[in-house]
Chains A and B, each alone.
Chain A
């Protein structure tokens, strides 16, 4: 085989490899959709972050506008401190509030932003205290059971036990 044709074949091989890399980066990964370059950081304090993870999405009206950059515990307040990296072209009023929500019944947790009506906007580095913690399923269930038990306790003596609170 001639020198020229070997070089040709190797050139095709290398170009094929580059095409594969471009395919992986653009079609099979998130390079095209959301770059972490042009973002600003906000710091939010939550009483309970639930199962929130680093890189979890931040959504407003269902649209992803940023990602969770880091999570740590504030050693004085005993609150979870979540750093949010939000796209620079998206800004929220200072009376907006953050909630930790779950996508679907068993899905990942994400931070939802409910925009307020203030004229002033959050500036990079601002600290956000208007937050709502993640819903912990256990406390929800125990609350429900306690309420149920309390109801049963108050109604049972009046009507002669119609079977509502019976085991």
Chain B
């Protein structure tokens, strides 16, 4: 009996310890950010590594999602004679939900894993320790530029995902199916609000960029300095980022869109 209670206590303390560790790591990164901003080229190079190189997969997925969304919605809407609302539905689902969320999931798989593996191997190869020896703070040299680059890249990627998805829906709906182009755009324009729909979507993607990059960095930095440790860290990056994004998405959606 006492053993069981002690086990519960041990688990609770362990959870608290991990949370505290995340928090202090987060504060360390924040403190290192000004130093990273003084050398902007470090951030630019990371935006290239995180953002530019993720562009192809984001654009391809956005186009595919736009195509499929337009096709599926068309079959549902045409039954009610509302095929012209296709653009509105595609736009709202992309800018509000699918754009930020799918981009974040792809980002966790494409960029988050590479961040974790890179930093984990740097740690395994004792490069981070070597930096420390040379009085170069690895947090401001390695972690902070990647963190800032992630927060910058994610909203851009999400915007591009939504835009190309809408263009894809236009191709399917107007060019292939033959929905009226004027109605497609005008119903979309009258139903979508810049601040409420597009603005909130961008806020979401900034939050997701924050979550995904932070988790990737933490898992890399705290990975065990062995091949298995890096592999575990990479796996955990994808799992924790995805779950965190989906949970946070529910919270943000409830906060942003619960009132009509």
A contacts, CB < 8 Å to B: 3, 6-7, 9-10, 12-14, 16-17, 20-21, 23-25, 27-33, 53-55, 57
Q: Say whether, besides A24-B95, A29-B197, A54-B260, A10 and B155 are in contact (CB < 8 Å).
A: no
Interface pairs A-B: 7 shortest CB-CB = A17-B156, A20-B163, A29-B192, A20-B159, A31-B194, A29-B194, A20-B160
Cβ-based interface call for B185 (8 A): yes
Contact among B45, B91, B260 with A28 in the assembled complex (CB-CB below 8 Å) = B91
Cβ-based interface call for B51 (8 A): yes
Cα-based distance from A20 to B157 in the complex (angstroms): 9
A24–B193 touching, CB < 8 Å = no
Cα-based distance from A33 to B260 in the complex (angstroms): 22
B47–A24 touching, CB < 8 Å = no
Cα-based distance from A20 to B47 in the complex (angstroms): 17
Chosen A-B contacts, 29 in total, with CB atoms closer than 8 Å, are: A10-B47, A10-B51, A12-B52, A13-B48, A13-B51, A13-B52, A13-B55, A16-B156, A16-B160, A17-B155, A17-B160, A20-B159, A20-B160, A20-B163, A24-B95, A24-B166, A24-B198, A25-B198, A28-B163, A28-B166, A28-B188, A29-B91, A29-B193, A29-B194, A29-B198, A30-B193, A33-B189, A53-B260, A57-B190
Contact among B44, B157, B160, B260 with A10 in the assembled complex (CB-CB below 8 Å) = B44
Q: How far is the CB of B52 from chain A (nearest CB, A)?
A: 5
Contact among A6, A12, A20, A54 with B45 in the assembled complex (CB-CB below 8 Å) = A6
Q: Say whether, besides A9-B52, A10-B44, A21 and B189 are in contact (CB < 8 Å).
A: no
Known: A6-B45, A28-B185, A28-B198. 12 other contacts (CB 8 A): A9-B48, A10-B44, A13-B47, A16-B160, A20-B162, A20-B163, A21-B198, A24-B198, A28-B192, A29-B189, A33-B189, A57-B190
Contacts of B164 in A (CB 8 A): 20
A-contact bits for B60-91, CB 8 A (1 contact / 0 none): 00000000000000000000000000000001
Contacts of B155 in A (CB 8 A): 17
Q: How far is the CB of B76 from chain A (nearest CB, A)?
A: 16
How extensive is the interface on chain B, given as a class?
20 to 34
A-contact bits for B163-201, CB 8 A (1 contact / 0 none): 110100000000000000000010011101110011000
Cβ-based interface call for B257 (8 A): no
Q: How far is the CB of A90 from chain B (nearest CB, A)?
A: 18
Cα-based distance from A24 to B193 in the complex (angstroms): 10
Contacts of B95 in A (CB 8 A): 24, 28
Cα-based distance from A53 to B162 in the complex (angstroms): 27
Cβ-based interface call for B41 (8 A): yes
B44–A24 touching, CB < 8 Å = no
Cα-based distance from A10 to B153 in the complex (angstroms): 10
Cα-based distance from A14 to B190 in the complex (angstroms): 28
Cα-based distance from A54 to B259 in the complex (angstroms): 11
Beta-carbon nearest neighbor of A29 in chain B: B192
Cα-based distance from A21 to B157 in the complex (angstroms): 11
A23–B51 touching, CB < 8 Å = no
Contacts of B156 in A (CB 8 A): 13-14, 16-17, 20
Contacts of B91 in A (CB 8 A): 28-29
A24–B45 touching, CB < 8 Å = no
Cα-based distance from A17 to B166 in the complex (angstroms): 15
Q: How far is the CB of B73 from chain A (nearest CB, A)?
A: 16
Cα-based distance from A3 to B194 in the complex (angstroms): 36
Contacts of A25 in B (CB 8 A): 194, 198
Contacts of A14 in B (CB 8 A): 47, 156
Cα-based distance from A28 to B153 in the complex (angstroms): 22
A30–B190 touching, CB < 8 Å = yes
Q: Say whether, besides A10-B48, A13-B51, A24-B95, A30 and B192 are in contact (CB < 8 Å).
A: yes
Q: Say whether, besides A10-B47, A17-B156, A30 and B52 are in contact (CB < 8 Å).
A: no
Chain B CB within 10 Å, residue with most, of A3, A17, A29 = A29
